[in-house]
């Protein structure tokens, strides 16, 4: 199956599209003829992305102000996107933050911020989308961006890893409850890719040592996710739900 052709004409909402992987997914979708709604807090970044996408000359695109941790913002952003582009077919829950501190140096409010964005945000976006799809009796597809830290940990990411492990289990729980409505929910668990979330880390000694522990001996590039991402976002995965796919250069199977 041609995965690019399979996404053509679909309407896709991408959260956290103002940088990194979210911006990459939005460009990929637009290049392949999907209509894209991009949401995040930094509006200037989204507007710059929209300019880039229109230069690609692909499907329609729009930007919405979005704080995934805020119920009102989520409801308004989803409604605004659907009013502008039409009913959404796919939700990509990509927005995420990391605190990057050891557990004993992480104050409760930093822990709360990570959980509010990475876990509550996925819950709010997904329940908003799924309620609409159920009421309209049309199916839908959700792709959650988890992380290999859902399965193996490193130092300094306790809150982040806990939030991502919970996203994997939430993916399964939502898949179970919503299959009856024709809604599929799967997750992508990327390994390490240099973006703003880990800026500077891979230039450090610890970062370089980590790259050596990846069996394929390199960081990922956003493009390395494209195949699995499009698989999960399209009907190519029509009999998959509740699954999490790791794309990580083998990092999860690195030698103990």
Ligand X SMILES: NC(=O)c1ccc[n+]([C@@H]2O[C@H](COP(=O)([O-])OP(=O)(O)OC[C@H]3O[C@@H](n4cnc5c(N)ncnc54)[C@H](OP(=O)(O)O)[C@@H]3O)[C@@H](O)[C@H]2O)c1
Cα–Cα dist 98/106, whole Å: 11
Residues 6 or more apart in contact with residue 133 via CB below 8 angstroms: 139, 140, 181, 182, 183
Our answer to whether residue 19 is catalytic in this structure is no
Catalytic residue among 18, 73, 126, 147: 147
Which residues ranging from 215 to 244 are in contact with ligand X (CB under 6 A)? none
Which residues share a beta bridge with 145?
A: 188
Binding to ligand X by CB under 6 A, coded x per residue (else -) over 94-133, reads xxxx-------------------x----------------
Our answer to whether residue 137 is catalytic in this structure is no
Contact between residue 149 and residue 157 where contact means Cβ atoms under 8 Å apart: yes
Q: Which of 69, 168, 175, 231 binds ligand X (CB under 6 A)?
A: 69
Q: Which of 197, 214, 225, 247 binds ligand X (CB under 6 A)?
A: 197
Q: Which of 147, 186, 237, 241 binds ligand X (CB under 6 A)?
A: 147
Residue 156 interacting with ligand X (CB under 6 A): no
Our answer to whether residue 212 is catalytic in this structure is no
Name the residue nearer to ligand X (CB basis): 17 or 29. 17
Count of alpha carbons within 13 angstroms of residue 30, beta-carbon side = 25
Count the residues of the shown chain that bind ligand X, applying the rule CB under 6 A: 30
Residue 76 interacting with ligand X (CB under 6 A): no
Which residues share a beta bridge with 185?
A: 142
Q: Least distance in Å: CB of 82 to ligand X?
A: 18
Which residue, among 225, 231, 230, 106, has the nearest Cα to 157 in the 3D structure? 106
Q: Least distance in Å: CB of 68 to ligand X?
A: 4
- The CA distances from residue 152 to 113, 158, 228, 246, in Å, are 22, 11, 20, 12
Catalytic residue among 10, 73, 160, 237: 160
Candidate segments 81-89, 178-186, 187-195, 236-244, binder of ligand X by CB under 6 A: 187-195
Contact between residue 30 and residue 58 where contact means Cβ atoms under 8 Å apart: yes
Residue 36 interacting with ligand X (CB under 6 A): no
Residue 25 interacting with ligand X (CB under 6 A): no
Contact between residue 56 and residue 30 where contact means Cβ atoms under 8 Å apart: yes
Residue 41 interacting with ligand X (CB under 6 A): yes
Residue 186 interacting with ligand X (CB under 6 A): no
Q: Count other C-beta atoms under 10 Å from residue 48's C-beta.
A: 14
Kindly tell me the sign of the dihedral angle through the C-alpha atoms of 177, 164, 82, 79. Answer: positive
Residues near ligand X (CB under 6 A): 15-22, 40-42, 45, 66-69, 94-97, 117, 145, 147, 190, 192-193, 195-198
Catalytic residues: 147, 160, 164
């Amino acid at each position: 199956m041609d995965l690019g052709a399979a996404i053509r004409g679909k309407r896709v909402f991408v959260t956290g599209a103002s940088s990194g992987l979210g911006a990459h997914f939005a460009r990929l979708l637009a290049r392949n003829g999907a209509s894209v709604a991009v949401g995040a807090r930094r509006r200037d970044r989204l507007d710059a992305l929209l300019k880039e996408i229109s230069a690609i000359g692909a499907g329609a695109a729009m930007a919405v102000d979005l704080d995934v941790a805020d119920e009102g913002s989520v409801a308004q952003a989803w409604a605004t996107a659907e009013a502008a582009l039409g009913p959404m077919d796919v939700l990509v829950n990509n927005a995420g933050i990391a605190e990057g501190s050891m557990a004993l140096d992480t104050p409760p409010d930093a822990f709360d911020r990570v959980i509010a964005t990475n876990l509550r945000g996925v819950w709010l976006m997904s329940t908003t989308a799924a309620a609409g799809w159920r009421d309209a009796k049309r199916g839908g597809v959700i792709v959650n961006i988890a992380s290999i830290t859902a399965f193996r940990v490193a130092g300094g990411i306790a809150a982040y890893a806990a939030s991502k492990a919970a996203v994997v289990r939430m993916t399964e729980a939502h898949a179970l409850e919503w299959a009856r409505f024709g809604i599929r929910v799967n997750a992508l668990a990327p390994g390490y890719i240099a973006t703003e979330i880990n800026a500077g880390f891979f230039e450090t000694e610890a970062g370089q040592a980590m790259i050596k522990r990846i069996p394929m001996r390199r960081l990922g590039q956003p493009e390395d996710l494209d195949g699995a991402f499009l698989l999960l976002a399209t009907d190519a995965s029509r009999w998959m739900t509740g699954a999490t796919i790791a794309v990580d250069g083998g990092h999860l199977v690195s030698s103990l």
